[in-house]
A and B are shown apart, each in its own frame.
Chain A
């Protein structure tokens, strides 16, 4: 931004706000991690174990070996997609609780594509499968979006309902149309789909880094990171993201500015659905190679937690997903090496989420205070900014970083 030649009274060369926000968020994340570690220590001591040993075994299992890192990244991959899906809707002031259902439906459509389009050559097939997954997620996301825009039905309610339907839909799919064929010998056949053709599967990249194939580290990781960058670009650099943020933070102002709230929200929901569609792909295309009956559930819900941890910032989400992966991987170590029950990890994740609320609030206030201070230095306060009115309870989301709650509607 150094190109401003004319002596404009307002300099263009200030440190951009999002940068400060990002640094603030990072420090906040570290702070909440510290809180979680300390509170977790108390718990570990209560179990009669040494916190140092337990934490080091978690770290050893997750980051101590190349394999461990591979596992962590493989766990993080679907979570990145899922959290991005949540974040995209969130920017527009909506809460997509339906990522869960959207990825289940997407697994079905992807499985169908993988089994039915087997005639396609390799790269084309996998592309078609991914496209089918995204389409499936979009269709399932379109339902609540259209209901919201047309009838005002709240997306939280509709997406929760659709999650239930998606579970049944998947069960039906692997029971009937996509069910595995009878094996010769007439054994009891699992409730699952046939194995997908090789061309539909996503290549393992573990071998390039010396990661065990057991980790199922796939190039979906790169796709996830690329998706994060794209979402960042969408939110920060594109018209739709701009409109989304305006709609999310101040629907009245957006509307008065001529932005169509319904159209914006519909688009966001479709993008969210497409991202959600990719959540299950790690599992069926990189890991199993078929759609099993005991598929991993709750990736959509975990995505909400990860999005929160990353404060709906696409880059933050990547880090948050990796952090989540580290903890999840640590579960394995706990089981093997200590008396502390594996649920400890869930507690730790819970504490992390709770403490993040606190540290982000602190970071946000400090950031806001700094902004005001600067504004004050610029002599803009002959008529004060916030303070004169600030005894009125104010929406906290007006400052630098993004708040978790949408400003226009509070969802339970």
Chain B
């Protein structure tokens, strides 16, 4: 690989060289002699599935993890990076997926935190500097705004500004677009291009291939802790990258089965509650996937939770095959035939420190199949069911006796799917079903959802990923500020749906 770099290197010496970095975690070789070069003024994409070791590698560079082997050279000199502070001193900054901002502080206060420059704060001076920095790179953010009032995209800009304020030359962004809307992503890319023009180096960690192809100058692909290849956008394609990442060809468009659409399974009318739902009306029929598109925070979570009975409503009705379910308990609603794949896998899906078999019947422990009338669990039966589900859904695990926390994200989701589909629900509510999953797992989940449709179930798919909505839905509605702002067929242009996601489509369509 280094030969290739030498040939195409335009004479510029690498700014950062990672050489044979090895990092072990108990039972996992996260980085296996990974070598990587970063050049001044490039956007270098680091791609790979979850767990391929890309974040780990960058955390080693940023001084969060000590490496078990290998060397790091910055500007030709070997560097010992023992902490993020060391990294920043060397001009390396990193923005994590989860932001570390103080919510009640202003943008400026957040940016200067830890770099106040003396016992007496000169906020005005600092604000000017922050504003200047923001303007230079085209960051639209008000230095005096309070962080808790900012959108996620704006918060991310603050995080980047924090790094720039510290004079960072090499900026590592860990999955920066995972939390952004398409429009915000566009803004971010604009910022990144300006940073590149100014000679800064950007490491862009992602598994979204379209974005990588759009923004990167060079792409390094990691798989299972090793570099499997390095390429440039011009020399590759989405399919090729995916194959490098996964190790086998991946289908991006699954064939939607043709199903005779039946009677309405779910009928929601004028649903309102908690100020987050402002009169939602929709219908899901048997054998149909209704995709609810929308920027996060527009009532998706509330809608899903209201349908499964987790939220109180102010108004509206929910009919499940004609039976009103408003006011019923979660248990009752589930028993009526509703499966629920929650958006928060850990907070609502699994009990992480309980075993797989205990998780596999969560919600069904009352069944006479799984416990006696006196309340004694029929553990052997539960384990048999779990073993069957684990086999059927290809949940990779050593045993059904281990805790759910030992499963990878994809396998955790498979376990939830297995549990929710085992009861043969009439309606499946799938909220952000592939969030944080890698390409292989996404393919699996999508296939399962399409199979459910083929089996004649009604599916309400709530997703912030427009790709996902398009890949699966038979009809698409957009959700904005707790209202349905448009209905589209999957043939509609994404731009139109995008408008609906911003609340503007109602007039145009209806």
Binary per-residue interface labels of chain A (363-398) against chain B in the complex, 1 for a CB within 8 Å, 0 otherwise: 000001111111111111111111110111000011
| Contact status A239-B49, CB under 8 Å | no
CB-defined contacts of B15 to chain A, threshold 8 Å: none
Q: List residues 6-22 of chain A with CB under 8 A from any CB of chain B.
A: 6, 8-17
Binary per-residue interface labels of chain A (258-293) against chain B in the complex, 1 for a CB within 8 Å, 0 otherwise: 111000000000000000000000000000000000
CB-defined contacts of B366 to chain A, threshold 8 Å: 239
| Contact status B308-A17, CB under 8 Å | no
| Contact status B350-A10, CB under 8 Å | no
| Contact status B348-A253, CB under 8 Å | yes
CB-defined contacts of A240 to chain B, threshold 8 Å: 375
B396 at the interface (CB under 8 A from A): yes
A330 at the interface (CB under 8 A from B): no
Kindly specify which of A133-141, A244-252, A353-361 makes contact with the partner chain: A244-252
| Contact status A239-B371, CB under 8 Å | yes
Binary per-residue interface labels of chain A (283-321) against chain B in the complex, 1 for a CB within 8 Å, 0 otherwise: 000000000000000000000000000000000000000
| Contact status B387-A4, CB under 8 Å | yes
Q: List residues 59-77 of chain B with CB under 8 A from any CB of chain A.
A: 59, 64-65
CA distance A12 to B390 in the complex (A): 11
Who on chain B is nearest to A371 by CB? B406
A189 at the interface (CB under 8 A from B): no
Q: Which 6 A-B pairs have the closest CB atoms?
A: A373-B27, A384-B51, A258-B331, A376-B27, A257-B363, A14-B399
Most chain A CB neighbours (cut-off 10 Å) among B391, B395, B397: B397
| Contact status A387-B28, CB under 8 Å | yes
| Residue in A17, A238, A254, A375 whose CB lies within 8 Å of B351 | A254
Q: How far is the CB of B389 from chain A (nearest CB, A)?
A: 10
| Contact status B408-A382, CB under 8 Å | yes
CA distance A238 to B377 in the complex (A): 5
| Contact status B350-A369, CB under 8 Å | no
CA distance A252 to B343 in the complex (A): 12
| Contact status A8-B362, CB under 8 Å | no
| Contact status A14-B398, CB under 8 Å | yes
| Contact status B348-A256, CB under 8 Å | yes
Who on chain B is nearest to A391 by CB? B64
| Contact status B403-A399, CB under 8 Å | yes
| Contact status B383-A246, CB under 8 Å | no
| Contact status B399-A249, CB under 8 Å | no
List the interface of chain A (C-beta within 8 A of B): 1, 3-4, 6, 8-17, 237-240, 242-243, 245-246, 249-250, 252-260, 368-388, 390-392, 397-400, 407
Q: How far is the CB of B386 from chain A (nearest CB, A)?
A: 8
CA distance A8 to B396 in the complex (A): 12
CA distance A260 to B403 in the complex (A): 23
| Contact status A380-B398, CB under 8 Å | yes
Given contacts A249-B353, A250-B347, A372-B406, 18 further A-B contacts (CB under 8 A): A9-B394, A10-B399, A12-B399, A242-B365, A243-B365, A253-B346, A253-B349, A258-B335, A260-B329, A369-B26, A374-B398, A383-B438, A384-B51, A386-B405, A386-B406, A388-B51, A397-B353, A407-B353
| Contact status B98-A246, CB under 8 Å | no
| Contact status B27-A253, CB under 8 Å | no
Most chain B CB neighbours (cut-off 10 Å) among A238, A245, A255, A377: A255
| Contact status A388-B387, CB under 8 Å | no
CA distance A298 to B369 in the complex (A): 45
Who on chain B is nearest to A369 by CB? B26
Q: Contacts A385-B405, A399-B403: A10 and B397 contacting too (C-beta < 8 A)?
A: yes
Q: How far is the CB of B383 from chain A (nearest CB, A)?
A: 6
| Contact status B27-A8, CB under 8 Å | no
| Residue in B55, B346, B355, B400 whose CB lies within 8 Å of A250 | B346
Q: Contacts A239-B366, A375-B407: A245 and B377 contacting too (C-beta < 8 A)?
A: no
| Residue in A3, A13, A246, A385 whose CB lies within 8 Å of B408 | A385
Q: Contacts A249-B352, A254-B362, A375-B406: A380 and B376 contacting too (C-beta < 8 A)?
A: no
Q: Contacts A252-B344, A253-B349, A373-B26: A381 and B51 contacting too (C-beta < 8 A)?
A: yes
| Contact status A374-B50, CB under 8 Å | no
CB-defined contacts of B352 to chain A, threshold 8 Å: 249-250, 398
| Contact status B403-A252, CB under 8 Å | no
Q: List 24 A-B contacts (CB under 8 A).
A: A10-B390, A11-B398, A12-B384, A17-B355, A239-B365, A242-B358, A250-B352, A256-B340, A257-B330, A257-B334, A257-B363, A258-B363, A259-B331, A378-B396, A378-B397, A380-B397, A382-B396, A383-B408, A383-B409, A383-B437, A384-B408, A385-B28, A387-B56, A399-B353
CB-defined contacts of A14 to chain B, threshold 8 Å: 398-399, 401-402
Q: How far is the CB of A140 from chain B (nearest CB, A)?
A: 25
| Contact status B377-A400, CB under 8 Å | no
Who on chain B is nearest to A366 by CB? B26
Size of the B side of the interface (Cβ < 8 Å), in residues, is 78
B198 at the interface (CB under 8 A from A): no
CB-defined contacts of B30 to chain A, threshold 8 Å: 384, 387-388
B379 at the interface (CB under 8 A from A): yes
| Contact status A380-B365, CB under 8 Å | no
Q: How far is the CB of B49 from chain A (nearest CB, A)?
A: 6
| Contact status B353-A1, CB under 8 Å | no
| Contact status B59-A238, CB under 8 Å | no
CA distance A373 to B398 in the complex (A): 10
| Contact status B387-A8, CB under 8 Å | yes
| Contact status A398-B353, CB under 8 Å | yes
B342 at the interface (CB under 8 A from A): yes
| Contact status B27-A245, CB under 8 Å | no
Q: How far is the CB of A342 from chain B (nearest CB, A)?
A: 40
| Contact status B51-A383, CB under 8 Å | yes
CA distance A301 to B266 in the complex (A): 53
| Contact status B354-A249, CB under 8 Å | yes
Who on chain B is nearest to A403 by CB? B353
| Contact status B363-A259, CB under 8 Å | yes
CA distance A250 to B405 in the complex (A): 12
Most chain B CB neighbours (cut-off 10 Å) among A1, A12, A240, A253: A253
CB-defined contacts of B347 to chain A, threshold 8 Å: 250, 252-253
CA distance A392 to B310 in the complex (A): 28
CB-defined contacts of B258 to chain A, threshold 8 Å: none
| Residue in A9, A12, A374 whose CB lies within 8 Å of B383 | A12
CA distance A398 to B354 in the complex (A): 8
B380 at the interface (CB under 8 A from A): yes
| Contact status B358-A399, CB under 8 Å | no
Who on chain A is nearest to B98 by CB? A392
Q: How far is the CB of A165 from chain B (nearest CB, A)?
A: 33
| Contact status B387-A10, CB under 8 Å | yes
CB-defined contacts of B438 to chain A, threshold 8 Å: 383
Q: Contacts A256-B349, A381-B408: A12 and B402 contacting too (C-beta < 8 A)?
A: no
CA distance A375 to B397 in the complex (A): 6
CB-defined contacts of A375 to chain B, threshold 8 Å: 27, 397-398, 402, 406-407
B506 at the interface (CB under 8 A from A): no
Q: How far is the CB of B141 from chain A (nearest CB, A)?
A: 25
Most chain A CB neighbours (cut-off 10 Å) among B342, B351, B363, B395: B351
Binary per-residue interface labels of chain B (214-240) against chain A in the complex, 1 for a CB within 8 Å, 0 otherwise: 000000000010000000000000000
CB-defined contacts of A379 to chain B, threshold 8 Å: 396
CB-defined contacts of B59 to chain A, threshold 8 Å: 391
CA distance A386 to B441 in the complex (A): 17
CA distance A10 to B65 in the complex (A): 33
CA distance A250 to B56 in the complex (A): 28
| Contact status A398-B396, CB under 8 Å | no
Most chain A CB neighbours (cut-off 10 Å) among B56, B340, B396: B396
